[in-house]
């Protein structure tokens, strides 16, 4: 396990006082190590879990050549350009069992979707494309080609091949795929535990009476939602006051119970509280000023307790900054910790519907909405006030307009990138 100092030394362009967003993610990729514990789960219980090893198919899918349509199966070599094909019906094949007869030249087999194609039959013409004349099927010219509407043995997966790879997160389609292989269980990484608490004497918990200079804690609930969407086990530790003994106890408990710790507040460069000092005392921690807006201050590292260490993410205190730094840095790092392949957010390109002021030298994440205009183009506009404490703007937005490090002012109509929230938060 490399120290913070060793990781920093190996990272080109590392400057903790002006760290680019790209360097942050490179640093975290070297800091975080995937969990090792695994368990076998039934398919119904494995949704959103991460595969700990490849799923190798014990069977071929499909297990035989079969029909993709309700129709008539025949040997496609009998087709002639510009000519109708007349075929006598030799029988009917249903899905779920093999048909025992034979089909000769000039004959066809009425067949249902999914039914096994007997040897020698390689083409299926859909029912609606033919004409029936007594016991004869007439296939008009040009409605079908040799090999049409046939599913080949193993065209999806061949026996012995990996059907799913280690590190893949099991979504609904993956669960169906596992079940289609006849596998009742899958081996997945254990669910990681993430402890979270807010810091600050000015923070009120729900149920407390308002007081002058104090604010109700919103970060605790947004972080809970973000973590829950990731499928981790959340350890809610509430609000911890700016008192050395309380902070020490909270950090030690969190490190003992969790794989990762997330805090909000107390990491700004000018803070006069005890949070940063306690982080330094209990672990190996770096404090950064990231070239981004919102969310410049951040702390990362490890907190050690009883021979066990937990990855630490010390986030800013402002509500929007907490969400942006989580999406930009914490989420991909936790995916690595879970043993998953990092799922980079999908960035759409849209036209800016307004002029945006931007200084080169930092990455900006502006809350915005993307809509499709009458001409079919996507247009992005901000939600207005971009203050890092304006949490309502995150509710109004459907994504973040990402303005890159070297990018300057944006004119109306310029192309911008947008990170959509759908499927992420």
Instruction: Give the residue-averaged pLDDT of 319-343.
Output: 95
Please report the pLDDT score of residue 84 as a whole number: 96
The CATH number of 39-61+155-189 is which of 1.20.210.10, 3.90.950.20, 3.90.105.10, 3.40.50.1110?
Answer: 3.90.105.10
Domain assignments of the chain as residue spans, ordered by start = 4-37+190-337, 39-61+155-189, 66-151, 347-420
Q: What tokens does 375 get?
A: 């001409």
Please report the pLDDT score of residue 135 as a whole number: 87
Task: Give 115-149 pLDDT, tens digit per residue.
Answer: 999 999 999 999 999 999 988 999 999 999 999 99
Could you tell me what percent of the chain has a pLDDT over 90? 88
Confidence of residue 203 (pLDDT cuts 50, 70, 90): confident
Which of these ranges, 201-215, 285-299, 409-423, has the smallest mean pLDDT?
201-215
Instruction: Give the residue-averaged pLDDT of 276-289.
Output: 93
The kind and range of the H/E element at 337 are: helix 331-337
Q: Is the pLDDT of residue 24 over 80?
A: yes
Please report the pLDDT score of residue 321 as a whole number: 95
Confidence of residue 425 (pLDDT cuts 50, 70, 90): low
Task: Give 39-92 pLDDT, tens digit per residue.
Answer: 999 999 999 999 999 999 999 999 999 999 999 999 999 999 999 999 999 999
Please report the pLDDT score of residue 190 as a whole number: 98
Q: Is the pLDDT of residue 271 over 60?
A: no
Q: Is the pLDDT of residue 1 over 90?
A: no
What is the C-alpha separation between 267 and 298, in angstroms, rounded? 6
Please report the pLDDT score of residue 234 as a whole number: 97
Please report the pLDDT score of residue 284 as a whole number: 96
Q: Is the pLDDT of residue 102 over 80?
A: yes
Instruction: Give the residue-averaged pLDDT of 320-343.
Output: 95
Task: Give 228-245 pLDDT, tens digit per residue.
Answer: 999 999 999 999 998 999
Q: What tokens does 1 get?
A: 């396990």
Cα-Cα end-to-end distance for the chain: 32
- Taking the domain 66-151, which CATH number applies? 2.170.190.11
- Taking the domain 4-37+190-337, which CATH number applies? 3.40.980.10
Please report the pLDDT score of residue 13 as a whole number: 87
Could you tell me what percent of the chain has a pLDDT over 70? 98
What is the C-alpha separation between 112 and 273, in angstroms, rounded? 73
Please report the pLDDT score of residue 270 as a whole number: 56
What is the C-alpha separation between 68 and 293, in angstroms, rounded? 53
Please report the pLDDT score of residue 343 as a whole number: 82
Task: Yes or no: say if 319 and 367 are a contact pair by the CB < 8 Å rule.
Answer: no
Instruction: Give the residue-averaged pLDDT of 165-183.
Output: 96
Q: Is the pLDDT of residue 200 over 60?
A: yes
347-420 falls under which CATH superfamily? Answer: MoeA, C-terminal, domain IV (2.40.340.10)
Nearest to 261 by CA among 252, 269, 270: 252
Confidence of residue 273 (pLDDT cuts 50, 70, 90): low
- List CB contacts of 380: < 8 A, sequence separation 6 or more: 350, 351, 352, 353, 368, 369, 370, 399, 401, 416, 418
What is the C-alpha separation between 342 and 331, in angstroms, rounded? 9
Please report the pLDDT score of residue 266 as a whole number: 83
Q: What tokens does 403 get?
A: 């303005």
Q: Is the pLDDT of residue 400 over 80?
A: yes
What is the C-alpha separation between 187 and 2, in angstroms, rounded? 29
Report phi then psi at 384, rounded to 5.
Answer: 105, -130
Please report the pLDDT score of residue 205 as a whole number: 87
């Amino acid at each position: 396990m490399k120290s913070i100092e060793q990781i920093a030394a190996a990272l080109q362009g590392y400057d903790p006082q002006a760290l680019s967003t790209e360097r942050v993610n490179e640093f975290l990729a070297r800091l975080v190590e995937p969990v090792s514990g695994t368990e076998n789960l039934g398919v119904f219980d494995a949704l959103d879990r991460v595969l700990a090893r490849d799923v190798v198919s014990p069977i071929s899918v499909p297990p035989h050549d079969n029909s993709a349509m309700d129709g008539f199966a025949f040997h496609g070599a009998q087709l002639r350009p510009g000519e109708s094909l007349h075929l006598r019906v030799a029988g009917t094949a249903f899905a779920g069992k093999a048909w025992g007869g034979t089909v000769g030249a000039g004959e066809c087999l009425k067949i249902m979707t999914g039914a096994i194609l007997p040897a020698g039959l390689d083409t299926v013409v859909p029912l609606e494309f033919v004409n029936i004349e007594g016991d004869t099927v007439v296939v008009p010219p040009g409605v079908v080609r040799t090999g049409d509407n046939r599913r080949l043995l193993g065209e999806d997966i061949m026996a012995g091949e990996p059907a799913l790879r280690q590190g893949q997160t099991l979504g609904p389609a993956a669960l169906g795929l596992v079940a289609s292989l006849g596998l009742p269980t899958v081996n997945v990484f254990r669910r990681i535990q993430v402890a979270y608490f807010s810091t600050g004497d000015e923070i009120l918990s729900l149920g407390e009476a308002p007081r002058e200079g104090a604010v109700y804690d919103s970060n605790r609930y947004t972080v809970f939602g973000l973590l829950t969407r990731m499928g981790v086990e959340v350890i809610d530790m509430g609000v911890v006051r700016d008192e050395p003994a309380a902070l020490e106890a909270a950090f030690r408990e969190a490190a003992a119970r969790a794989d990762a710790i997330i805090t909000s507040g107390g990491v700004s460069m000018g803070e006069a509280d005890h949070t940063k000092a306690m982080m330094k005392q209990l672990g190996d921690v770096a404090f950064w000023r990231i070239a981004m807006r919102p969310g410049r201050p951040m702390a990362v590292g490890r907190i050690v307790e009883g021979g066990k260490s937990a990855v630490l993410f010390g986030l800013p205190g402002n509500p929007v900054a907490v969400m942006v730094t989580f999406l930009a840095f914490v989420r991909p790092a936790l995916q690595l910790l879970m043993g998953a392949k990092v799922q980079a957010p999908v960035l759409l390109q849209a036209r800016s519907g307004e002029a945006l002021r931007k200084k080169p030298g930092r990455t900006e994440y502006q809350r915005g909405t993307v809509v499709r205009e009458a001409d079919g183009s996507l247009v992005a506009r901000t939600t207005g006030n971009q203050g890092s404490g304006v949490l309502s703007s995150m509710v109004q937005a459907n994504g973040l307009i990402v303005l890159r490090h070297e990018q300057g002012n944006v004119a109306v109509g310029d192309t911008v990138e947008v990170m959509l929230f759908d499927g992420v938060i």
